[in-house]
Chains A and B, each alone.
Chain A
Amino acid sequence: MDKKYILKALRPLKLKIFFHRAIEVFLYALTATGIISLVLVLASMLYVIPFVRHKMLVIIGVGLYIALNVSLFFIPAKKQLIMTADSLGLKERIITAWYLMGDNSEVAMLQRQDTKRALESTNLASAYRIRVDKRLYITAACLVITAFLLTFIPGRVHGDTVIRESLIQKMKESEKQIEDEIKSQKQKNPEISDEQMEQLKEALEKLKGEFRKAKSEEDALKALAQMENQLDNLKRQDPLRGLKTLENVLNNSQLTRDIAEALAEKDGESLREALEKLAEEPDNDEKIKELAEMLKQAAMNMGDNSMLSDALQNLAASAGSGEISGNELVQSLMELIQQAEENAAGQQDFENALGDVGNALGNARRSISAVDRRVASGNTGRMQRQPGESGNNNGSDEGGQQPGNNSGSQGGNQNRNQAGNEGGGMAQNGSSGNNQQMGGESGGGAGEGSTGTDMGYSDGEQSGGRRAPGEWKEEDYKRIYVPEHLGGEGNEITLSGRVLDSGSSTYSEADGAPVKKGAMVPYREVLSEYRTEAVQSMEKQDIPSGMKELVKSYFSSLD
């Protein structure tokens, strides 16, 4: 009998000890995760924490996974194993045999024989009893069950939590639909180039990022507006128009006229020859600068064709600063033109794809904007109506459209008829190019404030910015976010025109917007009261003396 024999004989016991320890570690982990879950559930009663049950399960799952890994470190060591085996009736036979392993005396051999006999006649694994402290079982079970049951008790922010959960759910669904739509575009529109597909995917990734950050319906709609805007930009990037502009500019110079002609003829071979001829010309700073200047001019003339214009501008800047040689400039230009031609070939398909994705975005927007209403109308069966609010909600919310009839009163009287198309109709300018006519509600509109240029969602123009005359800067959001629940339903307002330094823009003013009474009051009704208050404050020295003039001038200007 050697050490290997002993260890082999002890293997079943080893497994059982390991199992025992793993159970204990699991129970400790369950207790710990139970405490964390309980704290989380209690916090969810005070703060908006969506999907608390799901989070609880994740916490417990992670805890148990960690426990599984930790328990691997609790495989009993040899000494521990021998100690345990000896304590199961072997009376230190194994530890003595282990110590006598090199001893060949008669008594040592007798001892080993005796140990072997004892090992063979004892079922160590069944002799080892797995006993876990009952208090540990009970504590772990109580914590987890209590935490789980508490999730069914509505807390202070239950309504908000339901809305947030619904919103997250909708965002995920929308994300999936848009992603599927984008993925299917390659089959639907085979001419679409890889780069264009990449642009769509890039826009989707940005949307996903924004959705992850979104805390409210407003944030989610803002993210969708951003993507729609991005799709609009992509649509405007017509490579054919860009190439035509480039052709016009290049035609103005003797140096590049051949290239312009080749572009006009759409003759790839001639274009390559013309560019090669240009490349063969000896490096001349003046020629390079001339070419760079022309490229810059072409980029500016392209306006919002940002992809090609950006590339040309970068190329022009590199050439102008001497970072690249004439040969490199010509080579880059050739690649750029080829890419543009490739994109131009698939432009029709790309526009179709943009239209499909735009439709998906529109559906997503309607779906998300309906969340609050759906929850409030009792789809979840948990929201309570506000006092004084009565009526019923008929119809269905499918795809964000709301056919049907909403009758009743809210605060005062607001009859809404979605079928009617009175007042200012709303033309929703979908990025797909498919203008989708939405029925306007009578008296719709976002009311005052929503008729501004961008409702505060654009970066705005920084005063003192370094924009050169004639240069343009595009706003991040040209679409105006329309608050749909400002005291009731309203029409969407869309500005037509482009936000630039010059030009005109039009807007429609929504009279009688369903704003709750008291929420907005004509300033003349409150001016005198506010002025009196201000005067009193100034007399009581509540306002710093330096600011008094400012206050006075403010009220003077209001008069």
Chain B
Amino acid sequence: MVQTDRESFEKVLETVSRIEAEVSRHMIGQKEVIRQVIICMLAGGNVLLEGMPGLGKTRLVNILGKVMGLQFSRIQFTPDLMPADVTGTNIIDREEGGQGMFKFQPGPIFSNIVLADEINRATPKTQSAMLQAMQEKTVTIANTTYELPTPFFVLATQNPIEMEGTYPLPEAQMDRFLFKLNVPSPGFDELKGIINLTTKNTEETVEKVTNAEEIIKIQKAAREIPIAEPVLDYAIRIVMATRPDDAASPEPVKKYVRYGSSPRGAQAVISTARIRALLCGRYNVSFEDIQTVAYPSLRHRIFVNFDAVSDNITPDMIIDGIIKDVKTYQ
């Protein structure tokens, strides 16, 4: 394994900071969401953004694509959207001689950043077409597997209110998102800033800070960020505490949780905590990193039971309880 040299690390630190700064310049508010999206993308994961329409989800993805110098495509999911509309399909390409042959026509998924807008409106068949792409970064059509461009990120959005005519994402598909982020509504000052920024005749110039190659370097460097054993143990204990059948899990988990996090949850926590440490200018993972990334990493991996729903207990509340209950050192 080729290790990242000192200069590269220092450059990585600088680039990460510049990406965040440039995106924040064009997005008013949502600082935590911006940071977490960047974290998730640099960790090589997919993000599920949940929030009301008009909160800037699409804009965020758009700006990120430009700042990172990546190819960007958007798919608006509707109930009549077919898998081939996402992945692409073989079409007959008639040559001059009159002979026709199948030629693969790539779908919008063949892009670095794919915005899957309102993903829960598509049928499960179409949703599952995304599965292979999200996890394996490949698409198989008619026995032929096509690799997706690297880096590849899916940023899906869903509306939490309008549930009529939607197809909630199954657990398996939810697990493939590294983060699930709740996009909050902007406050007074933020809304004022948004209006000032978007309702004037000013031309927006988004600076390209990095490119696909550098993003891959950053992803690689991030994996080398060391994590002390007590910190790693702490992260694992937090993930294990989400399981109701675990002896060490706190009482609210036993009462309200149907299923806890899969090992992918632990992977998500560790890999994103490393990126967060880099973003904070550190070369080590802290307990705070683990606690911060635990919410977006685990909230969609904790499946609550009916008691929780009836008592208005959300996964975030459960994670709160776990963080309070699990000791940093044991």
Contacts and interface: CB of A to CB of B under 8 A. Distances in A.
Interface string A79-98: 10001001000011101111
21 contacts: A83-B328, A86-B286, A91-B286, A91-B288, A92-B286, A93-B284, A93-B286, A95-B231, A96-B226, A96-B231, A99-B228, A100-B226, A100-B228, A105-B3, A107-B4, A107-B225, A107-B283, A109-B6, A110-B9, A111-B226, A111-B284
B231 A92 contact: yes
B306 interface: no
A95 B231 CA distance: 9
A165 interface: no
A559 interface: no
Contact of A106 (B3, B231, B284): B3
B165 interface: no
Contacts of A93: 282, 284, 286
A317 B9 CA distance: 102
Interface residue tally on B, bucketed by range: 20 to 34
B17 to A, nearest CB: 15
A79 to B, nearest CB: 8
Contacts of A95: 228, 230-231
Contacts of A111: 226, 283-284
Interface string B284-307: 111110000000000000000000
Given A91-B284, A91-B287, A100-B226, 8 more contacts: A79-B329, A83-B329, A91-B280, A92-B230, A92-B231, A96-B227, A99-B226, A106-B9
Interface of B: 3-6, 9, 224-231, 280, 282-288, 328-329
Chain A, interface size: which category? Answer: 20 to 34
Contacts of A539: none
A114 B224 contact: no
B9 A96 contact: no
A108 interface: yes
Contacts of A98: 228
A133 interface: no
Nearest to A90: B286
Contacts of A106: 3-6, 9
Contacts of A105: 3, 224
A92 B284 contact: yes
Nearest to B289: A91
Interface string A93-126: 1011111100101111111001100000000000
Contacts of A115: 284
Contact of B287 (A92, A97, A99, A103): A92
A107 B274 CA distance: 12
A107 B280 CA distance: 15
A96 B228 contact: yes
Nearest to A113: B283
